[in-house]
């Protein structure tokens, strides 16, 4: 099999590393050798044209991937247009309750995301205790080693009348990888970019449920929460998120809309 490389980018302002800089942008791709240049260009463009600001620190890391790939179909997707932020959050609560998550745990997660600005990764919350279990503080867990071939993504997006944007491709790839782990109950996400107010709730059962408004325009707070259960070995779960190479493949004939 062809060799593949994980390309990871992170960009910050006011200093990188653990110097208290502001997180601007991150991104991850998984490409063969002849895709490295293109991937780096895509990620550098993402960092340099970001609505959270102009970075003064950028790091790009390239690693050869030796683990075997897991191929996944994108989650089924649905979009709900809501008239207000309040209705959007209500819908998110409703969807998360369908995943058997307690109201307190949901409210707590929403409260944390509403105050959270500048984490570059996600928080993991155990639904039995309502507690955060990842111990990664302000960094959170960054899901990596995942991608979706551009043409296949574009055919999928066109069929579903979704934007052909890198944002949607990245979000669907991440949500599909996370939802396919047996310990994942659901994910809640909205962007930390001030110009993007749409978010989603995702799970294997619900699919990728886009909600047109989960925050106010101009707000730089947002993030991701992964709700888990029965996760006795949290390190193995994190290992899957960070290290397992996952590639999305959409086959039109398997799709529910056809």
Site for ligand WAQ in 9-38 (CB under 6 A): 26, 28
Structure tokens that stand for 46 in this block: 């993402």
Question: Is residue 220 part of the contact set for ligand WAQ (CB under 6 A)?
Answer: no
CB-CB neighbours of 151 under 10 Å: 8
Out of 122, 125, 202, 231, the only residue in the binding site for ligand WAQ (CB under 6 A) is 122
Per rule CB under 6 A, count of chain residues that contact ligand WAQ: 26
Q: Is 224 in the site for ligand WAQ (CB under 6 A)?
A: yes
CA atoms of 131 and 102, how far apart (whole Å):
12
Identify the CA nearest to 183 among candidates 233, 132, 108: 233
Q: How far is the CB of 46 from Mg ion (least distance, A)?
A: 10
CB 257 within 8 A of CB 79: no
- Please report how close the Cβ of residue 48 comes to ligand WAQ at its closest, in angstroms: 15
Question: Parallel, antiparallel, or unpaired: how do β-strands 207-211 and 77-80 relate?
Answer: parallel
Place of tokens 């259960």: 229
The only residue of 169, 192, 202, 210 in contact with Mg ion, by rule CB under 5 A: 192
What are the helix (H) ranges across 25-149? 36-48, 85-98, 103-115
Distance (Å, whole) CA 235 – CA 184: 14
What's the closest the beta carbon of residue 229 comes to Mg ion, in angstroms?
27
Burial class of 135 by CB neighbour count within 10 A (0 to 12, 13 to 18, 19+): exposed
Q: Which does 46 bind (CB under 5 to 8 A by kind): ligand WAQ, Mg ion, none?
A: none
> What is the chain's length?
258
Residue 74 touches ligand WAQ, criterion: CB under 6 A: no
The reply on whether position 193 binds Mg ion by CB under 5 A is: yes
Residue with smaller CB distance to ligand WAQ, 191 or 203: 191
Residue 35 or 120 with smaller CB distance to Mg ion: 120
Residue placing its CB nearer to Mg ion in the complex, 126 or 170: 170
**Interface positions with ligand WAQ (CB under 6 A):** 26, 28, 119-122, 140-143, 167-168, 171, 174, 189, 191-193, 196, 198-200, 210, 222-224
**Interface positions with Mg ion (CB under 5 A):** 192-193
């Amino acid at each position: 099999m062809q060799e593949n490389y994980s390309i990871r980018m992170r960009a910050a302002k006011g200093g990188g590393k653990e110097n208290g800089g502001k997180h601007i942008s991150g991104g991850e791709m998984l490409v063969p050798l002849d895709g490295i240049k293109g991937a780096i260009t895509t990620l550098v463009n993402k960092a340099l044209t970001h609505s959270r600001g102009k970075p003064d620190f950028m790091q790009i890391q390239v690693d050869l991937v030796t683990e075997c790939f897991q191929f996944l179909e994108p989650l089924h997707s649905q979009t709900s247009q809501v008239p207000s932020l309040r209705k959007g959050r209500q819908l998110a609560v409703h969807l998360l309750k369908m995943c058997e998550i307690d109201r307190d745990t949901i409210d707590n997660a929403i409260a944390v995301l509403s105050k959270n600005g500048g984490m570059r990764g996600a928080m993991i919350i155990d639904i039995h205790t309502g507690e955060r279990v990842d111990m990664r503080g302000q960094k959170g867990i960054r899901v990596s080693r995942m991608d979706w071939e551009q043409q296949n993504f574009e055919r999928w997006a066109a069929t579903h009348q979704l934007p052909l944007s890198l944002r949607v491709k990245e979000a669907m790839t991440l949500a599909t990888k996370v939802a396919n782990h047996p310990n994942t109950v659901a994910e809640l996400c909205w962007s930390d970019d001030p110009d993007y107010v749409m978010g989603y709730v995702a799970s294997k059962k619900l699919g990728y449920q886009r909600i047109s408004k989960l925050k106010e325009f101009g707000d730089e707070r947002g993030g991701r929460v992964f709700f888990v259960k029965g996760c006795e070995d949290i390190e193995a779960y994190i290992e899957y998120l960070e290290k397992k190479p996952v590639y999305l493949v959409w086959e039109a004939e398997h799709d529910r809309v056809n």
